[in-house]
Amino acid sequence: MLDIKFVRENPEVVKENIRKKFQDQKLPLVDEVLELDKENRAIKQEVEALRAERNKLSKQIGALMGKGEKEEAEKVKAQIAAEAERVEVLSAREKEVEERIKVIMMTIPNIIDPSVPIGKDDSENVEVERFGEPVVPDFEIPYHTDIMETFDGIDLESARKVAGNGFYYLMGDIARLHSAVLAYARDFMIGRGFKYCIPPFMIRSNVVTGVMSFAEMDAMMYKIEGEDLYLIGTSEHSMIGKFIDSMNKEEDLPQTLTSYSPCFRKEKGAHGIEERGVYRIHQFEKQEMIVVCKPEESPMWYDKLWQNTVDLFRSMDIPVRTLECCSGDLADLKVKSVDVEAWSPRQKKYFEVGSCSNLGDAQARRLNIRVQGADGKKYFAHTLNNTVAAPPRMLIAFLENNLQADGTVNIPEVLWPYMGGTKKLIPSKKK
């Protein structure tokens, strides 16, 4: 969310940013919010003047009564009553105006970083760098659920009966591998100085609207019926929410946290994308990382965060690349974002396994996350988030890149301790 003062002083900058995000339908909102802001400031001035006048008149009543001028005193009382009614009307309008301003300000997108490539959608995202050599083996790579089934590791049919499409049972070695990857990701991030946290898996509506745009909320979040609670779509939501309405000492920054959680997503409008497997599902688990820092440090942390994910995947022999998100693919709160994509030998292309984002002070402004400097100056923090690992999607990349011609799956050395020393998965049945 932008500062209304910034919009007031830079309306054309805000409009040009909207155009760069190909959201021209939001252009009229800038003029509307400026008119409302003007009205709001005028209301405040009039209310302040009326209250000052009321205080002045109230003092006159006592003096008039003391002089026995009751008739004049009654006239002053009537004037005060009339002005009180006016204040009441103005205050009601002020509330309406401020609520509308808030809605608009939460709809106008954040100012993107100048380095962000301009493009309409994810088809215009820009590859930045590749890490590791993508390999296509000389044998056919089966679909990921077919690989899992050779280990008796997945049951989609039973899951559909129990919960519907978009759910799954993981079992045996595949379930253990899933948990091993998460445990390794946790320890990997702890080793890089992040504090481990298990957060609430439900959050209130004020936190939801603080961490994401209305469009994201509608597409992702599951609401708990009869409660002011939502299931989290990622632990970033409750992790950033941890700092709501906080005043943080500058010397205590940065706050660097890594968190585990189950995640729940509607995946509204995502039909047709690898639907029959576990690529896009309603429930999964994830290790996440978030940073709350000083504004001048957020670009540095942005680069550190995505590099963490790259290093994690490379340690498991999975080739990856980074993809800069273009303006039209950026969620409204984001200043800059990069996707980490893993190589799929079966598809002979990369696919998304994580996303790193710098949100500037947008979330901090919505959630009132402030910092007090050594000089006493107060300002809004910057927040960042990034996926460490999100199985079972990550398992797709893992299985495809570590599958051998005989159907076995090699376990990278970093995972041996988490797999009880197992170095190779051996199929329990043939497809």
For the segment 365-413, what is each residue's pLDDT rounded down to a tens digit?
999 999 999 999 999 999 999 999 998 889 999 999 999 999 999 999 9
* Predicted confidence (pLDDT) per residue in 182-192, tens digit: 999 999 999 99
Burial level of 420, CB count in 10 A (0-12/13-18/19+)? exposed
pLDDT in tens, 200-234: 999 999 999 999 887 788 888 999 999 999 999 99
pLDDT in tens, 248-261: 999 999 999 999 99
pLDDT at 58 over 80: no
What pLDDT, on a 0 to 100 scale, did the predictor assign at position 430? 58
> Both tokens of residue 361?
């002070």
Task: Tell me which of 359 and 81 has the higher pLDDT.
Answer: 359
* For range 174-185, the mean pLDDT: 97
Checking if the pLDDT of 273 tops 50, the result is no
CA-atom Rg of the chain in angstroms: 28
Domains and CATH numbers, the chain: 4-105 (1.10.287.40), 122-425 (3.30.930.10)
Return the pLDDT at 276: 63
What are the residues whose beta carbons fall under 8 Å from the beta carbon of 52, sequence distance 6 or more? none
Q: What percent of the chain has pLDDT over 70?
A: 97
The three-point CA angle 141-147-153 to 5° equals 170
- Res. 52 pLDDT band, cuts 50 70 90: confident
**Stretch 164-182: mean pLDDT:** 95
Residue 63: band (very low, low, confident or very high) from pLDDT cuts 50, 70, 90: confident
Q: Are 175 and 153 in contact (CB under 8 A)?
A: yes
Q: What is the pLDDT of residue 59?
A: 74
pLDDT digits (tens, 9 = 90+) for 113-139: 999 999 999 999 999 999 999 999 999
SS3 label, residue 365 = helix
Alpha helix segments (H runs only) across 151-229: 156-162, 172-191, 205-211, 214-220
Contact (Cβ atoms closer than 8 angstroms) between residue 332 and residue 109: yes
Q: The pTM is what? A: 0.90
**Lowest-pLDDT range of 215-219, 262-266, 422-426:** 215-219
Share of the chain above pLDDT 90, in %: 82
pLDDT computed for residue 268 by the predictor: 60
* CB of 207 closer than 8 Å to CB of 241: yes
pLDDT at 272 over 60: no
pLDDT top residue among 83 and 269? 83
